[in-house]
Amino acid sequence: MINQQRLVQTFLDLVRIDSPSNFEAEIGLHLQARLDALGLETEIDAVGNLVGRTPAGQGHGDWLLLSTHMDTVGVDRGIQPVIRDGVIYSDGTTILGADDKSGVAAVLEVLTVLQEQGLSHPPLEIVITVGEELGLYGARQLDTSRLRSRYGIVLDAGGPTGNLVVSAPSQDNIRLTVHGVSAHAGAEPEKGINAIRVAAEAIAAMPLGRIDAETTCNVGIIEGGTARNIVPDRVKIIGEARSRDNAKLEALTATILQTFQDATERHGARLEANVARTYTTYRLTEEDPIVQLVANAARSLGHEVHLRAGGGGTDGNIYTAAGVPCVVISTGMADVHTPNEHIAIADMVAGTELLLAAVRSATRNS
């Protein structure tokens, strides 16, 4: 039922439209035009999220959310897709952007198939967000109170088609500034408090990396100092902590803050801390109707189903927290966020077939 050639063409077209996070205006309008052409009612919200709705075709059922994101990670532009042995790569100098344009292409293909073949489907709500790679920025700005869906499918994972991601961690975004005292590094260093030294001691002492099976943390950015010969009075540290257990996350974040507090006190420096919960953990089970629906669709296509825990948040965290429980499915993308990112055409087709089967099985015929 899926038209492989059309699906691949759609994907290649999308990949060639630059859309790093914060620069989604062009692709947003392109996607809106495509949804309009498919007869959906569309709108772009104040931050650039594209929302499209189509009533049920030839059937009934609860509103079903299909969500993907239109931004690509980092700043890469001018992406040139290359097909080798049935696998789509970039030319090796950039990411491919299969994360998440393979998801967008799958949604467009499914909508096209439903329309051209007059297939029954439930009312569908399409949300294509901006800024997902910035920490679910678009989804967090979305007016979720206007969502009509009972449940949803987010296309934003890799791995075998039968892997269904049904849980995700909470994440704390941790921004710290160590304030020291500047001084001339040669003439009177004893008058200074070296903020880089304070930060270094704290980072060396804090928990880092994998903490346990469901808990991790990282220091990702450090910025500070102004000149070789000035004792630095300021250093900024940006990190994160994640866990699928909120109590563990709170304890970990508290430990990190305490470690920095101790180091700054030891040196007479001052700590400015800013912690924000970016998204909140959730866990669905095979009892949840959306899990049942997608799992049954996958089995009907011959896939072995595994319910998996995700290591990262997706827009599904936001929708689930807003009362629209979401399963995250694989689009077939692999090695995302690297120049080796790729997607096998067979996997892209399999993910799209799963989406189509799940959408069709959500129809109530009455």
The set of catalytic residues is: 71, 132
List the one residue from 19, 40, 79, 99 that touches Zn ion (CB under 5 A).
Answer: 99
Q: Closest distance between Zn ion and the C-beta of residue 316, in Å?
A: 11
Stretch near Zn ion under the rule CB under 5 A, chosen from 94-102, 116-124, 238-246, 292-300? 94-102
Q: Are strands 326-334 and 234-243 parallel, antiparallel or unpaired?
A: unpaired
Using an 8 Å Cβ cutoff, are 165 and 153 in contact? no
Phi first, then psi, for residue 81 (nearest 5°) are -70, 145
Q: Closest distance between Zn ion and the C-beta of residue 77, in Å?
A: 18
Using an 8 Å Cβ cutoff, are 179 and 268 in contact? no
What is the distance between the alpha carbons of residues 204 and 217, in angstroms, rounded to a whole number?
13
# of chain residues touching Zn ion (CB under 5 A): 3
95 or 252, CB closer to Zn ion? 95
Considering only CA atoms, which of 102, 128, 118, 114 is closest in space to residue 7? 102
Stretch near Zn ion under the rule CB under 5 A, chosen from 100-108, 224-232, 245-253, 355-363? 100-108
135 or 207, CB closer to Zn ion? 135
Which residues between 131 and 160 bind Zn ion (CB under 5 A)?
156
Peptide bond into 100 cis (omega under 30): yes
Interaction between residue 100 and Zn ion (CB under 5 A): yes
Interaction between residue 125 and Zn ion (CB under 5 A): no
Contacts of 276 by beta carbon, 8 Å cutoff, 6+ apart: 172, 173, 175
Using an 8 Å Cβ cutoff, are 128 and 69 in contact? yes
140 CB-side CA count, 13 A: 14
Per-residue binding string, Zn ion, 34-73, x by CB under 5 A, is: ----------------------------------------
Q: Closest distance between Zn ion and the C-beta of residue 139, in Å?
A: 11
Residues in touch with Zn ion (CB under 5 A): 99-100, 156
